[in-house]
Amino acid sequence: MPAIEINGQVVNVEPGSTVIQAAENLGISVPRYCYHPGLSIAGSCRICLVEIERMPKLAIACYTQAQDGMKVTTDSEKVRQARKSMLEFLLVNHPLDCPVCDQSGECDLQNYYMEVGQYDSRFLENKIKRKKALPIGPHVILDQERCILCTRCTRFCEEVSKSNELGVFHRGNRSVIDLAPGKALDNPYSGNVIDICPVGALTEREFRFQCRVWYLSTQESICNGCARGCNISIHYNTSRPYKAGGKRVQRLKPRFNPFVNRWWICDEGRFGYEFIDHNRIEFPYLRVAGGELEVSDWKKVVQEVSTALKTTLEKFGSESIGVIASPQLSNEELYLIQKVFGELMGIEQIGYRNPWEKEGFQDDFLMQGDKNPNSRGAEELGLTFNVRNILEEAASGKIKVLYIFQHNFESREAQEMLEEADYVIFQGTNWNKTVEFSNLVLPGATHAEEDGTFTNFEGRLQRYQQAFLPLSDSKADVEILTGLAQELGYPLPYLSAEDVFMEWSGSPYGELEEFGELIEEHKP
């Protein structure tokens, strides 16, 4: 392995590694615009210039391969002067609209300029005017004046999405990024060009002018949009009190995981967060004599659920209760469902798979046809009773109490069965068709409002963390289930989701690897 010295520090690197990669191994940051580890090397922005001993000219760190014995300096006066000149060149026609740019606060052009900028401008001419605020797809806005032609977006469309919507047009100082004739940027991964754009040339239509980035807080999480389990960061703003119709979650961003999604995420997952703050069930509900759902309180509703379950169990036995869990729930919640209903109450009819739910779009990159994040987890826990049979027995009267988690039964056949059911309890996050047939409604928390783990389709166990408190009077499902167990006479020793995880897996969250672990490797 070649040994390379950077700023006086020596590091061994893999053969074929570049200087910029060697510097990262030492924790030394080298400025970059065109370089991205998930794309081919363009070497066009020239901001990553470094000084290498015995080389007459400065070299670009993104392209230059590390050689044994090489001595590199990344912060000499010669390097700083070269970067200052490159920034001056890149900003010749860049508009001075930082105060209204959505990238402001996380812009590499701003950051590097504040570090080594040419603060006294020598430019006396009028700046070239180009297209501004141009929608180029359902999620992306292009501002050509801000573009520095790093070509990250064009390489992404060519190499990753393989859809080739964007290209560099014209030559010299007239070169611009634009759409290919007759195309729109509407591939399933289009939002990634926003993430990799180092300036404000490509911005997100949904986030545009919504919130300044310095008001945002960030929490690591897992996408619940499909069985892939892409790693994401939730960017949220809770600085102002929540109002009905408002937004706490402002955007989702991909988080690097070399085993799952690398640097990318699909548009379905990226923009599928509206359910967290919209159409939420915010309070417990009880169906009254007139047939309407009426707002109630937790104590009364939990007592009603407990009474219905205990009475049915005593009079008709465990065969008279059916439970339909959800693959949208965490492993901790599914384990508690199995423990409370299966182990403690002796109920065998516990299923999770909606037989009317159709497979969604799937490709050979990230997107999975199963649009649930934890089907594998439910399967591993053995919650595999046939859901259609459970509903049929509820409709026939054999099952007296039906407890449903999360599912939205939109099928007319399923709704006809629910209509015939004696007593339906629904626990979930959002108003849906199933609620219309429910006698009791318990408001659960979304994955953004609680801690837990999902097991993706490959069997990789991954943790997500609470970003903010549950909305209004909703509660985390672990809290609801432990409270219900207490009311049923089965006190459980869990104070948090981590306590449940400890019992299920034998270790705390802190021992779970950063990028997740395959379940067969994690279990003792």
The stretch 485-499 carries a mean pLDDT of 94
Q: Which of the four pLDDT bands, split at 50, 70 and 90, describes residue 246?
A: confident
Residues paired with 463 in a beta bridge? 453
Q: What is the pTM of this model?
A: 0.92
Tell me: the pLDDT tens digits for 112-148? 988 887 777 787 778 888 999 999 999 999 999 999 9
Residue 213: DSSP 8-state: G
- Alpha-carbon torsion angle 164, 165, 169, 174, nearest 10: -130
Percentage of residues in the chain having pLDDT higher than 90: 89
Q: What is the mean pLDDT of the chain?
A: 94
Residue 523's pLDDT is what?
61
DSSP structure string for 131-165? --SEE-SSSEEE-GGG-----HHHHHHHHTS----
Yes or no: domain 3-90 corresponds to CATH 3.30.230.30: no
- Among 3.40.50.40, 3.40.50.300, 3.40.50.12780, 3.40.50.740, name the CATH number for the domain at 285-522: 3.40.50.740
At 522 the pLDDT is 66
Domain segments of the chain as ranges: 3-90, 98-107+122-204, 214-276, 285-522
Confidence of residue 96 (pLDDT cuts 50, 70, 90): confident
Residue carrying structure tokens 């849906």: 432
Residue 116 has which token pair? Answer: 């080594």
Report the CATH number of the 214-276 domain. 2.20.25.90
For 436-445, write each residue's pLDDT tens digit: 999 999 999 9
CATH of the domain spanning 98-107+122-204: 3.30.70.20
